[in-house]
């Protein structure tokens, strides 16, 4: 067990309820749970994710299926918070937000249709959170980001966003966008963008937003954590088998001259150094080539879904002038998301890596919940959302 990592739920002084959409293995719920939220409903379409969710959250009602098929009747009571780690592709295509066109486009609109259904019954959540890749800020020239924010402002929410990199908490570089909307609750905010989570690209995206969204915008404020004191080597499982020499050499043959030189320098020092490597396809002089990219800064690169065997994460162990390599394990991937070892992973390593590669880093969720959602909800009138 990695020191400081726990999946245990904190005792809440005020019981707060959450629904988790696009829930995957339920990591948003783990982070929220540490801040006293109780997940009352979760949803995901994928069978492997649903099985992993059930294995770890037996007490949570899981609706396995398409978010478009959910109805307000399936949502118990008035949830305080709804979390959606939605795949937001083509969000702006759903400009009409109705009919077949919307069904085919971003699943976000399926989630939002449900929020509108709850609103019609006076059961809208006071806090809505959308987690997505940072590319949402610029996809379709910013129209996707504007469409999501505009929907929330039109429904009477104040909206703001934070770009948070899990690397501030964990040894993994994982920048993600969190769009937070509040109605009948007001989280801590600043008048001007500031601090590590209002990044230049977020500020630029905000500048492109339509005036009606800017009028409903808040620069939510969350304190940065104390300096991270955990690095990749502290999260590795001891004694896992390494590749045969020829497999390692075949992988090292994919290094660019720059990365090879870096490795040679480390090997020449004879020191013990742990590194991370990621195999990916790069375009070099107009040609697609496989590359192995190394880093020795104590961080793993952003975990991704292993697709078609081409993108994989490896661990490098350099010692006495020699290098050994192996795959990153599913358990190590879980640790890199801030998940404690009592979390039950799928027995297949590739399923475990997919589960974690798609997930949200739990300490980031916890920081948002403690720094923003909890204070907002604690100060708010419980009837506020319905009345807004």
Ligand X SMILES: C[S@@+](CC[C@H](N)C(=O)[O-])C[C@H]1O[C@@H](n2cnc3c(N)ncnc32)[C@H](O)[C@@H]1O
- Residue tagged active-site, from 88, 149, 302, 318: 88
CB of 266 to ligand X, least distance (A): 34
Among 42, 44, 331, 368, binds ligand X (CB under 6 A): 44
Task: Tell me if 45 contacts ligand X by CB under 6 A.
Answer: yes
Q: Which is nearer to ligand X, 80 or 358 (CB)?
A: 358
Cα angle 284-285-286, degrees, rounded to a multiple of 5:
90
Read off the DSSP letter of residue 337.
Answer: T
Asked if 184 and 247 touch (Cβ cutoff 8 Å), the reply is no
H or E element that contains 274: strand 273-284
**Shortest distance (Å) from residue 222 CB to ligand X:** 19
**CA angle 50-55-58, nearest 5°?**
95
Spell out the residues 6+ positions from residue 244 whose beta carbon is closer than 8 angstroms to its own. Answer: none
The H or E element spanning position 292 is strand 287-295
Candidates 199-207, 231-239, 246-254, 352-360 — which segment interacts with ligand X by CB under 6 A?
352-360
Comparison of 7 and 85: residue with beta carbon closer to ligand X: 85
Binding-site size for ligand X (CB under 6 A) equals 20
Tell me which residues in 98-157 interact with ligand X (CB under 6 A): 107, 110
Residue closer to ligand X (CB basis): 255 or 356 = 356
Which CB, 111 or 278, lies closer to ligand X? 111
Query: In the structure, how many helices (H) and strands (E) does the chain have?
Result: 14, 13
318 is catalytic: no
Question: Which class for 265: exposed (0-12), middle (13-18), buried (19 or more C-beta within 10 A)?
Answer: exposed
Looking only at residues 53 through 92 of this chain, which bind ligand X when binding is defined by CB under 6 A? Answer: 66-67, 85, 87
User: Using CA atoms, how far apart are residues 129 and 208, in angstroms rounded to an integer?
Assistant: 21
Helix (H) / strand (E) element for 276: namely strand 273-284
Would you say 328 and 279 are in contact if contact means Cβ atoms under 8 Å apart?
Answer: no
The piece of 24-32, 54-62, 258-266, 283-291 that touches ligand X (CB under 6 A) is 24-32
Q: Of these, 43, 172, 218, 221, which contacts ligand X (CB under 6 A)?
A: 43
Out of 81, 360, 367, 376, point to the residue binding ligand X (CB under 6 A). Answer: 360
Binding span for ligand X by CB under 6 A among 44-52, 118-126, 136-144, 162-170: 44-52
CB of 143 to ligand X, least distance (A): 21
The encoded tokens of residue 55 equal 């294995």
Give the residue, chosen from 213, 294, 333, 359, that forms a contact with ligand X under the rule CB under 6 A: 359
- Which span (42-50, 145-153, 256-264, 345-353) binds ligand X, by CB under 6 A? 42-50
Check residue 27 for interaction with ligand X (CB under 6 A).
yes
Helix (H) or strand (E) holding 211: helix 211-215
- Residue (of 334, 99, 144, 307) closest to 237 by Cα position: 334
| Residues belonging to the active site | 88
User: Given the rule CB under 6 A, which residues bind ligand X?
Assistant: 22-25, 27-28, 43-46, 49, 66-67, 85, 87, 107, 110, 358-360
């Amino acid at each position: 067990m990695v020191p400081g990592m726990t999946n245990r739920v904190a005792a809440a002084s005020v019981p707060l309820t959450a629904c988790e959409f696009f829930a995957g293995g339920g990591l948003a719920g783990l982070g929220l749970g540490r801040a006293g939220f109780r997940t009352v409903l979760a949803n995901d379409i994928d069978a492997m994710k649903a099985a992993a969710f059930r294995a770890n959250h037996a007490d949570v009602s899981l609706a396995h299926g398409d978010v478009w098929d959910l109805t307000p009747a399936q949502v118990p009571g008035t949830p305080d918070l709804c979390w959606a780690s939605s795949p937001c592709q083509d969000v702006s295509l759903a400009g009409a937000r109705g009919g077949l066109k919307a069904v085919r486009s971003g699943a976000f609109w399926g989630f939002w249709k449900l929020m509108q259904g709850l609103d019609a019954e006076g059961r809208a959540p006071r806090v809505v959170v959308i987690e997505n890749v940072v590319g949402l800020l610029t996809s379709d020239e910013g129209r996707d980001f504007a469409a999501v924010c505009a929907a929330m402002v039109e429904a009477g929410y104040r909206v703001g966003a934070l770009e948070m990199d899990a690397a501030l908490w964990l040894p993994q570089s994982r920048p993600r966008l969190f769009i937070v909307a509040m109605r009948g609750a007001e989280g801590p905010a600043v008048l001007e963008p500031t601090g590590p989570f209002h990044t230049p690209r977020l500020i630029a995206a905000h500048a492109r937003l339509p005036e009606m969204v800017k009028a409903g915008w808040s620069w939510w404020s969350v304190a940065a954590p104390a300096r991270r004191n955990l690095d990749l080597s502290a999260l590795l499982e001891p004694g896992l088998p390494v590749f045969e020499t020829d497999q390692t050499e075949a992988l090292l043959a994919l290094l660019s001259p720059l990365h090879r030189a870096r490795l040679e320098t480390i090997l020449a020092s004879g020191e013990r150094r742990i590194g991370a490597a990621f195999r990916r396809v790069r375009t070099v002089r107009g040609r697609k080539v496989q590359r192995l990219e190394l880093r020795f800064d104590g961080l793993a690169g952003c975990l991704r879904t292993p697709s078609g065997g081409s993108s994989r994460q490896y661990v490098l162990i350099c010692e006495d002038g020699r290098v050994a390599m192996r795959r990153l394990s599913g358990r190590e991937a879980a640790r890199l998301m801030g998940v404690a070892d009592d979390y039950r992973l799928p027995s297949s390593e590739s399923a475990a890596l997919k589960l974690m590669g798609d997930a949200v880093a739990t300490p980031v969720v916890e920081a948002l919940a403690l720094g923003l959602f909890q204070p907002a909800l604690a100060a708010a009138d419980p009837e506020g959302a319905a009345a807004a």
